[in-house]
Amino acid sequence: MKNIYFHSLANTGSNSYANAIGRSYPTRKVVEITDGFPDVRVGDTKILLGFGEEACIFKGHNLYGLIEKAKLHDKYITILRDPKERVISDFFWGRRLQERSAGFKYSYLQDMESLFNHIYTSNHLNFYIHHLSHVNYVNKKMFDLEECSRLSNSVALQAARKSLSSKFLDVGITEEFDRSLFQLSDKIGLTKISNWIESRHEATPGKPGFTDLPLEIQKMISHKTSEDNELYLEEREKFEKNTSHYISKKYFIDYSNWNNKSNPIDASDHSFDINRFIKSLGILKNDLNVICLGIGSAFLELQKSDAFKNLKITALYDSFKFDYELGGLKVQSMDKIDLQGVDVIFITSARFYMELHNLAMFKRRKFSSGILII
């Protein structure tokens, strides 16, 4: 692909997602198309046409509709999040912006009172269906009921379905961030994914989760986002169907599946998420040369699951406990790691990732062979 067009839907993790792609394509120019950025005029196609043959990643909240307007024959990319959680994030993101501009802080009770009032008084809280309906909306960064009211929800839902199926190359799912990156990478020919954690936004301060709210408010949010939720569940079902049989012809290098640098997935601190780990295996073939690092409780959990049944584990390594047999294989110390012929490395601890990262052999091979680190 010459250019990538990422339509960023507010409070979906879209900036982290787009930045992961941008960091993985260091030779491409990243062009922000969001109202308020220098040289950005909402609806002006000049920004799409002003870079000649230079390959770009266009991303931003006001991108949707510009491809058609510029008479280009390309498609968009986006990512969707559970609408109920997105509504809450959208509200609190705006709330914190108000605080910064006014120079004061709201109390928790003031936040909750304002949130509940917002939910009570809005006729609906659907965002996706209106921003993905091609009706020349301004596409403001945040929910705007007046902007959304130009179409009924039922009409907007049908238009959004049609848009996603005809105008979008790929639709990711925020709750499946890692697998979404893998699927998109395969479609656009990307073979190296930069560690996306380094560009991740921090959670909005003071924001509760959907299930933290009173049941009455939960029910009201669910009702008022019902069309958004219908669209989201349809796209999530498509995503699961496509990725459940996803067989990658490539492996993604320099990718570490941890939550963040201060709280990595690590069996020793009980933050290891076996379900997330197993889902990461969904893209793998059955005939791979696999080695495992970290033979602790996390590995033993995996061994009991169906995750490894079709994979050939050829070596086991651990930093602290070795020179014994496990499943017919001898557990070896980390300093004896041999990466020759390795297709996949399973790592159950960020600590082991750093130990591997410091090995001279790994540094030499890191960008020259197909190693998937999960």
User: What are the pLDDT digits (tens) for 242-277?
Assistant: 775 544 444 444 444 433 333 333 333 334 566 666
With 0-12 / 13-18 / 19 or more C-beta atoms within 10 angstroms meaning exposed / middle / buried, residue 216 is exposed
Look at residue 328 in the predicted model and tell me its pLDDT. Answer: 83
Nearest alpha-carbon partner for 234 in 310, 136, 106, 132: 132
Q: Note the CATH architecture for domain 267-373.
A: 3-Layer(aba) Sandwich (3.40)
Nearest alpha-carbon partner for 71 in 48, 54, 42: 48
Structure tokens at 206: 């003071």
DSSP assignment of 52-104, as one string? TT--EEEEETT-TTHHHHTT----EEEEE--HHHHHHHHHHHHHHHHHHHHT-
Question: Would you kindly state where each structural domain of the chain is located, as residue ranges?
Answer: 1-246, 267-373
Digit-coded pLDDT (tens) for 129-161: 999 987 565 667 778 888 888 889 999 999 999
Give the distance between the most distant pair of CA atoms in the chain: 69
CATH node for 1-246: 3.40.50.300
Asked if 1-246 and 267-373 have one fold, the answer is yes
Digit-coded pLDDT (tens) for 83-131: 999 999 999 998 988 888 888 888 889 999 999 999 999 999 999 999 9
Residue 5 — φ and ψ, nearest 5°?
-120, 105
Structure tokens at 207: 């924001």
